[in-house]
Amino acid sequence: MAAGARGGSAALRRLRGGGAGAAPRGARGYSRDVEGSWFRSLFVHKVDPRKDAHSNLLSKKETSNLYKIQFHNVKPECLEAYNQLTEEVLPKLHSDPDYPCDLVGNWNTWYGEQDQAVHLWRFSGGYPALMDCMNKLRQNQEYLDFRKERSRMLLSRRNQLLLEFSFWNEPQPRQGPNIYELRTYKLKPGTMIEWGNNWARAIKYRQENQEAVGGFFSQIGELYVVHHLWAYRDLQSREETRNAAWRKRGWDENVYYTVPLIRTMESRIMIPLKISPLQ
């Protein structure tokens, strides 16, 4: 019993950052009251993953919004022509009341995969709205001509259908100038509920500068993918905002519990196109 107690005390000291194996001075450590936060978390409402699909448990109940994100890899010599063509055609769909779709944001990747365009659409009404829009576009000759011309400029393209997390802000148009960061996390299968439970508590640490734009998880396309979209004035503002989060008690615990859920992660810094409602 005494040996077990000594082993448990040593493990607790390591968790708190003391004893053998402690992080070196100056390294970023996790909160010293992790066991206390674990006890407090017992009283936080959590989603029970056994009762329903995570698409129903984690998404907004008050809306039926469905999102589509598109990644277009453009031939380097065609990027300017691609942007011009996009800015001529896509706003017409956005403003036409016969199409139940809205542009949320349009960007070129600045840092990350180069010569890339990213488009985010919202379909108010879910899958029926998506299908209604797709059926109408098949009859829209201007759009068909646009797609044919656009195809000559592309190296590859892919998309995903997404739902928005219930605890994130719904993306709303904003004035600029801003840069945007799209952080993409590919999670281990079966961990989406745990991710959502942790971020439902952690998002409050990232709201002071209104940098949180939207949070989404994939439904069709590559699965167990999460996208977090952030807005900053510039790269220096991004650095300062992210560093400030580490000074808030509890933020490091979110990192501690969510990092083991991730298989891979990626960050894109993006610049809005002229037509983007998110500037």
pLDDT 10s digits, 114-125: 999 999 999 999
Q: What tokens were used for 127? A: 């899958």
Indicate whether 58 pLDDT > 80. no
On average, the pLDDT of the chain sits at: 84
Q: What is the pTM of this model?
A: 0.79
Output 36 or 199, whichever has higher pLDDT: 199
Question: What pLDDT was estimated at residue 51?
Answer: 58
Question: What pLDDT was estimated at residue 160?
Answer: 98
User: Which pLDDT band holds residue 37 (cuts at 50, 70, 90)?
Assistant: very low
Output 272 or 245, whichever has higher pLDDT: 272
211 inside domain? yes
Question: What pLDDT was estimated at residue 3?
Answer: 44
What's the number of domains the chain is made of? Answer: 1
278 inside domain? no
98 inside domain? yes
Which residue in this structure is represented by tokens 């009859």? 139
Indicate whether 206 pLDDT > 60. yes
User: Which pLDDT band holds residue 182 (cuts at 50, 70, 90)?
Assistant: very high
267 inside domain? yes
Burial degree of 65 (CB within 10 A; 0-12, 13-18, 19+): buried
Q: What is the largest CA-CA distance in the chain?
A: 80
233 inside domain? yes
Question: What pLDDT was estimated at residue 55?
Answer: 59
pLDDT tens digits for 85-116?
A: 999 999 999 999 999 999 999 999 999 999 99
Indicate whether 156 pLDDT > 60. yes
Whether the CB-CB separation of 251 and 196 falls below 8 Å is answered with no
103 inside domain? yes
User: Which pLDDT band holds residue 216 (cuts at 50, 70, 90)?
Assistant: very high
Q: Which CATH number is 131's domain given?
A: 3.30.70.100
19 inside domain? no
Which residue in this structure is represented by tokens 């409602």? 277
Q: What tokens were used for 148? A: 């044919």
What backbone phi and psi angles, to 5 degrees, belong to 228? -110, 130
In a 3-state reduction of DSSP, which class is residue 188? coil
Whether the CB-CB separation of 230 and 211 falls below 8 Å is answered with yes
Percent of the chain with pLDDT over 90: 67
**By residue range, what is the domain housing residue 137?**
65-272
50 inside domain? no
Indicate whether 52 pLDDT > 70. no
